[in-house]
Structure 1
């Protein structure tokens, strides 16, 4: 369409958030001013504004009335796997109105379908294909935001690592297919016991991570015991006879001297290694660099 501006945006509850763009700044736009929010609320997959300066829906919009304001806008809606309308691929021109042809609009629709597919594949890459939980990359992305929020609010934040005992023995004895079903049951149990504010990820074959915003520093150890006890009593239909799961757990809390979320990750890994040395059922908490050992539960070996 020979427009100077093109953009891929997600429409959130209160803003339009550009992901990619050409010829424009990638700055969030309040939803009430957003062309794209109206596009995803429309019934059609294509939304065209030939001349925003004379369109009663947009002519008083600051994005239009500005000397370099929008004159022409066309968008194709980006859809998620379940059909949800997530955002748009749009083109804009601030120089003159346009009347795009049917062929040009069809090409815009085709391009939007490719963008939707790329976003879906990207999202799948961020989820474990076995458990469907976020992977380590997602944990780091979310964790860095949560760490900054906790720092600003001066509230405690914990990272809990749960290491399953003898999981590799299940793979060796029963095969990877049954091992995958085992992980799926464990992942479902952990996710179902999370609070709305918690974030759970599957970070290694036999390791899960939980990011836990806390009301107080002592709450972290209580939550660690709760998750461990839940897993110890979980009725796993795919586990071999005689198998008892009692994971070791490493817990770390944020600290004012931390330079970032990576420091919290490092301490939680240190705590987990100390717990592994203690044996099945051990929980080790690192707070201010000092380990606190919770009593290890006895567990039969399988």
Structure 2
């Protein structure tokens, strides 16, 4: 997919010290994350030395879990939810954002770059919470860093890259990739993908970043996880363009967003609601990170029709602003909102008379002398009133009116047809093709003004309906956000703050798939609190709940950052250990057992000592699926209980005692 950069060349760039790289606390986090025996407690200690990163980490964790009764409030809880890979990459991304907010490349807009990257991050996460194509916390980091190749070139070659960016801005059709390759021997898409791969991101992430930077679809199989991730990054970059677009270019950008949303199987309404969620989250994250972010119009209000005709082409009467008359008025101007009218008449004298009459009634008037031009004008500018002389096109007027009424814009226009001596048969035909009223020509000014009152009432009703629709769309967007948060809360155990069984099952499926692809080990640990029923029966459920919370705290303090722990039963916990052999998982399990045994459990006035029985299993040739892996861990736990409790056992090895 992405043409590889020569390894020696990448190492040379890294050795120069100029390539964007983590610094300070972020560097310490990344180094600790590579250690096999790194614990959450040690990781939390390092993170706490950077208060700004603490706030960002907790916000990211709450974005994944949701806003339930027990939101994430501590560093260790955030580490438990996000896991080692996400925290490591998040530290990298935020470090780059902090240390590379400005630079020597004059033509590189650093502020706009980081604003776009932040939208990318928020958008990729928002999409993945719906598609479940990857871990939302990890793909947030992909969005934040997907354009890092641009920042790298601006940092490595500030003068030369500035010249290229300036030429690209001034020269239509300029091929920036060709210019970069000619000057640097690589382009920003290739360099960015190589950097992501070097930082340990999955290959599908680095490939997707390359595809998005190039603006292409890639060669991933249709319907595959790789294609979904790739389309997610493309969609996120389009949403970033939408958020940063000018009012004039926003409709065209919105059309592209809707197209890319359809590739992710979102309908138009769902895509627009998703854009609203992303824009709001972007503003919140921007305030937290001091990155430029602003509110944009609701996505439902962004018109995606073709650009309108130049307003200067309209023939408009310049009467003073007047008001829509009330229902009992005879046409004298009073105080209300000015409406737009369009007349379609071939006779210039008739047009002039109608212009004067409508102007005195408080309308802005535009004129057309051809029915086809009049219909086109109506579709572009959506006047509230349209008066058509049937004689302009005879029976062809029926076809034009029918066409107009089939469009969304044409449905809200009040249309009056004027004709010579219309009989009942003619009126029926006119009404059938879309006319709202029919008048004999020449129309009586008093009668016409009276009929205009009906048109105004109709326009008023149309506006009220549109306002109601806008409110409904707004409520629907809020409801969608609430439903998403409820769905996320459903993944959280409120007592311990750990994810629940539902979360564990989904994460297990993801890690099993990753283990299959990468041919890496995967282990599972089941922890059951010994004699916990006795605690509940002897001291009450309140004491039992307090004890469970402290057992959970003991587990949290000794687990590695990339382990995934969940409460899956009343007194049962499951731990997933990616990239962990059976022997390493046993070491982890014994650390868990010892932590609980040595913990001082306090419940009210009671001081308790609790132990756990732990079962361990690892994926091997006899473990054919994820369910079997969990069953093997459960069998190991049962052996530990039968052997005297407070033990670690594995059916794949001989039982081990404490």
Q: Which gives a bigger RCO, structure 1 or 2 (Cα 8 Å, sep 6+)?
A: 1
1:193 — aligned with what?
558
- SS in structure 2 opposite 1:129? coil
Question: Is 1:96 aligned to 2:207, yes or no?
Answer: no
Find the partner of 2:124 among 4, 8, 12: 12
CA distance in 1, matches of 2:627, 2:487: 23
Q: 1:152 to 1:71 in 2, by over 3 A?
A: closer
Q: Which residues in structure 2 correspond to 1:174-253 (within 5 Å)?
A: 174-238=539-603, 241=606, 243-253=608-618
Alignment deviations for residues 156-206 of structure 1 (CA, whole Å, 9 cap, x no partner): 111111111121222112211221121112112212322221100001111
191-200 or 222-231, which deviates more: 191-200
C-alpha displacement of 1:62: 11
Unaligned runs of 5+ in 1: 1-9, 65-69, 297-302
Residues 253 and 104 of structure 1: is their aligned pair in 2 closer, same or farther, counting only changes over 3 Å? Answer: same
Judged with a 3 Å threshold, the aligned counterparts in structure 2 of structure 1 residues 270 and 40 are, in CA distance, closer, same or farther, namely farther
Structure 1 residues 215 and 18: alpha-carbon distance in aligned structure 2, compared to 1, 3 A threshold: closer
For the residues of structure 1 that align with 2:487 and 2:498, how far apart are their CA atoms? 14
TM-superposed deviation, 1:142: 0.3
TM-score under structure 1 length normalisation: 0.71
Indicate how the Cα distance of structure 1 residues 62 and 247 shifts in structure 2: closer, same or farther if over 3 A, else same.
Answer: closer
Q: CA deviation at 1:146?
A: 0.5
CA distance in 1, matches of 2:509, 2:536: 34
**Distance change >3 Å, CA 113–CA 140, structure 1 → 2:** same
Residue in structure 2 matched with residue 168 of structure 1 by the alignment: 533
Matched, 1:52 2:240: no
Gaps of 5+ in 2: 1-121, 132-222, 261-266, 287-297, 307-407, 410-462
RMSD between aligned residues: 4.1
Is 1:126–1:134's contact at 8 Å kept on the other side of the alignment?
A: yes
Determine helix, strand or coil for the equivalent of 2:478: helix
Shift of residue 18, structure 1, vs aligned partner: 7.7
Separation in 2, partners of 1:118, 1:282: 42
Pairwise mapping of residues 139-158 of structure 1 onto structure 2 (< 5 A)? 139-158=504-523
Contact 1:163 1:247 in 2 (8 A): yes
* 1:295 corresponds to 2:407: no
Between Structure 1 and Structure 2, which shows a larger proportion of helix residues?
2
- Residue 38 in 1 paired to residue 240 in 2? yes
Distance of 2:649 and 2:550 partners within structure 1: 25
TM-score (norm 2): 0.35
The SS at the match of 1:186 is helix
| Residue 217 to residue 90, structure 1, CA distance change in 2 (3 Å) | farther
Q: Which protein is bigger by CA-based radius of gyration? A: 2
Cα distance in 2 for residues equivalent to 1:192 and 1:49:
54
The number of residue pairs the alignment matches comes to 262
**1:107 Cα deviation from its structure 2 partner:** 2.6
Structure 2 match to 1:3 = none
Give 1:132 deviation, angstroms: 2.0
Q: How far apart, CA to CA, are the structure 1 residues paired with 2:254 and 2:299?
A: 16
